[in-house]
Amino acid sequence: MNDETKKDSDLADLQTAATAVGVTIVVFFVVYWAAQIQSTYELLAMAYGW
């Protein structure tokens, strides 16, 4: 494998890794925040009878 091909495959590797981890992070923390907001809303609704 020459240097050029290696560089390209490194970049492909980095991009795939970034996509996989990036998507996991976004999904995990969006779910986390949605759950937090939902539970706060429910508690407030219970407290004030909305």
Partner 1 sequence: MSTSTAMSTSPALTWGSYRRTITSVALVLIVLVFAFSSARRVVWVDLYEFFLWMETTWFGVIGKTWGAAFAVVEAFHLLAMALLGGAVFVADFRLLGWSFPDVPAQDVLDKAHKVFVVGLIVVLSTGIFMACGVAGKIYWLPVFWYKMLALMTGILFVFFIKRPLLNRDLDEIKPWVVKLVAVASLLVWITVAATGRWIGFAGS
Partner 2 sequence: MNELLYNFAVWLDSHELSTMLHESYYMYNWVESTHVLTLMLCLGMLFLIDLRMMGLAFPNIPANSFANRLNIPMLIGFSVMVFTGLWLFYAVPVRSTQSVWFRVKFFLLIAAAINAFLFHKNMINASGSWATDIKAPKIIRIGASLSLLFWMAIVICGRFIAYDWFDCEYTEPGLSQFLSGCIDGQTLF
Based on the shown chain and the rule CB under 8 A, indicate whether residue 35 belongs to the binding site for partner 1: no
Instruction: Give residue 47's identity as a one-letter amino acid code.
Output: A
Among partner 1, partner 2, none, the one that 43 touches (CB under a kind-dependent 5 to 8 A) is partner 2
**Residue 43 makes contact with partner 1 by CB under 8 A:** no
Taking 3-state DSSP, the helix, strand and coil percentages for the chain, each rounded to the nearest 5, stand at: 90, 0, 10
Give the torsion sign (CA, 38, 41, 47, 50). negative
Question: Contact letters (x/-) for partner 2, 1-40, by CB under 8 A?
Answer: ---------------------------------------x
